[in-house]
Structures are given as C-alpha cells and as structure tokens.
C-alpha cells in the first residue's frame, strides 16, 4: 500500500464523516424553516430515496442485490437490521436534532461504541481493558458536563433530547453488530440499500408519506437533496471505498470528524451557541471514543476467531 493510497483512503473517510455531520446541520435547518416537516417524514424520505438509489446503483454495477431475499435467515436478519439498527440511528437522531441541535445530538450519538463495549462485556464476557475503562470514565464525565453544565442537580438540555440521543447511540451499536455476517456475504451496498428501503417502508405504517402534505420551498428542496445525496448516498460510497485503502481501525478514528463538522457548521451558519461545558464535554467524548474504537475492533476480531476455531 503506497503512501498516496493511504492518503486517498484517509481523505475519503474524512470527507464522508464531514458530510454526515453536514447532513445533521441541514436537518436542523429544515426543521427550523418548515414546521410541517417532522423527523418521521424526513427519515422516511431519506431512507426510501437513498435506499432506492443505492440498490439501483448496485444492480447497474452487477452486484445483484435481489439475491439476499432467496435466503430466509439472511432476509430476517436484514429486516432486523433495518428496524433495530437503521431506524434508531436515523429517526431517533433526527428527533434529537429537532428538539435540540445537531452538535449535541451528534455527540450523544457518538457514545455508540461504548454501548458495543458494554454488550461485549455482558453477553460475550469480554472484560474491558484498562484503556477502555479510562475511556468510559472520560465519556461519562463528558456526557455529564453536557447534560448538567456542571450543576449536578439540574439538566442543562431537555430530557427529550437526552432520550432520543440515547436511543440513537443504542442504534449505533445495533447498526454495527446486526449486519456484520451479511456484509461479508453480500457487500455493504446491498445491505445498506435494502436496510434503508425496508426501514423507510416500514415507517410508513405509522404515517404514510402520501397522507402528509408538505409544501416545500426551493431552499427546503435543496436541503432535502443535501440530506439524501450528500448526507447519505455519497458518504456511504466514499466511506466504503476508503476501506480499500486504509484499515477499519483508521477509518473508525476518523469518525470524529462527524461531531466536529456538525459543531463547526452549526456555530458558523446557524449561530448555535455552545457553552464551554458543551465543547469540553464533547471533546472528552470524542477522545474517549477514538481510544475505544481500536479496542472494539480487537474485540470483534477476537470473537470472529473464536467462531472459526
């Protein structure tokens, strides 16, 4: 692997994470501009549109995405991935953005790797290493600073934001763990495309898109396209492509660009005011997750070796 290839992989992963952060800012903006737009409606549109685009692209590229439905067990896992992984990681995230703001929602969601670590400890009996324990303490302190602003007897952010953000963090864990066997077998484009489409269609049970009459301005349509194309399709393709040039551990560390991008763009373009507690607490969480990501990958590798022995 040449240095140029490594740099290309780092750039692809970094830009993908920045685009994910920008999509949160775009969602926050569209919520402010149009009160008719709900997190549910936006999630449905995003999932169905992006899912169809990815599946069509996969078919054109010869991936043959339809073949997964010929296996009943894989089909069930795919549906569970859409409902238990993608729905919380996207719908709950947008709810947190709507009731709060993009930086706080993204930082809380960024706690997902710690949910994975807890899962390994409780159900796979993998004891956290010292660095992981220190990272968990750092993340807890960071979260506590954001939630209380140093006043332990009161909350500085709405409990609703904390609720939806917490669910989105759990979604990050399920979104990572559930589809792993499918990704190795069918590829990320097929699994992500179908997962998005299945989740988006299932969400129409609660409120069908055709029953929601939303009038969009040109600006709102542009923001919607940013969320679908720049915030979903492009970053997925770029991040998946980056793994051809860099290790997954390197790519996971670059995830830190997502909350950083959400924070910078929100302050710059939306005039979102963050306190010193928010910034310091967010920094602690980002540093803790960057340190933990390496060990999470090691845990997954260890479990994979155990299954194959």
pTM, entire model: 0.86
pLDDT for the residue numbered 303 = 47
Which pairs count as long-range contacts for 129-137, CB under 8 Å and 24+ apart, including other chains?
A: 129/295, 131/291, 131/292, 131/295, 132/291, 132/292, 132/295, 134/288, 134/291, 135/288, 135/289, 135/291, 135/292, 136/288, 136/292
Tell me which residue has tokens 């910034």. 279
Span 238-285, pLDDT tens digits? 988 887 787 766 776 778 888 989 998 998 888 888 889 999 999 988
Band the pLDDT of 228: cuts 50, 70, 90.
very high
pLDDT for the residue numbered 308 = 44
């Amino acid at each position: 692997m040449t240095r140029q290839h490594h740099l290309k992989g780092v750039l692809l992963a970094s830009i993908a994470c920045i685009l994910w952060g920008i999509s949160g800012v775009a969602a926050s903006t569209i919520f402010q501009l149009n009160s008719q737009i709900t997190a549910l409606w936006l999630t449905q549109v995003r999932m169905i549109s992006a899912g169809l685009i990815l599946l069509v692209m996969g078919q054109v590229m010869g991936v043959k995405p339809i073949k997964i439905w010929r296996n009943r067990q894989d089909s069930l896992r795919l549906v569970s991935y859409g409902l238990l992984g993608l729905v919380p990681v996207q719908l709950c995230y947008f709810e947190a953005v709507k009731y709060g703001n993009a930086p706080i929602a993204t930082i809380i969601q960024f706690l997902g790797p710690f949910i994975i670590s807890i899962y390994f400890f409780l159900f796979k009996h993998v004891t956290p290493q010292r660095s992981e324990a220190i990272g968990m303490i750092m993340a807890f302190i960071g979260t506590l600073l954001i939630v209380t602003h140093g006043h332990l007897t009161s909350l500085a952010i709405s409990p609703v934001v904390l609720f939806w953000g917490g669910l989105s963090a759990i979604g990050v864990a399920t979104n990572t763990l559930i589809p792993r066997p499918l990704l190795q077998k069918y590829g990320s484009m097929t699994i992500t495309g179908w997962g998005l489409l299945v989740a988006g269609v299932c969400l129409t049970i609660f409120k069908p898109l055709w029953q929601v009459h939303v009038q969009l301005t040109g600006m709102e349509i542009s923001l919607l396209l940013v969320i679908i194309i720049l915030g979903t399709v492009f970053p997925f393709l770029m991040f998946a492509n980056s793994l051809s040039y860099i290790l997954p551990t390197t790519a996971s560390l670059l995830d830190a660009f997502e909350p950083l991008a959400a924070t910078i763009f929100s302050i710059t373009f939306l005039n979102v005011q963050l306190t010193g507690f928010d910034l310091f607490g967010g920094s602690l969480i980002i540093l803790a997750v960057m340190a933990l990501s390496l060990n999470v990958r090691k845990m997954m590798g260890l479990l994979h070796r155990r299954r194959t022995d």
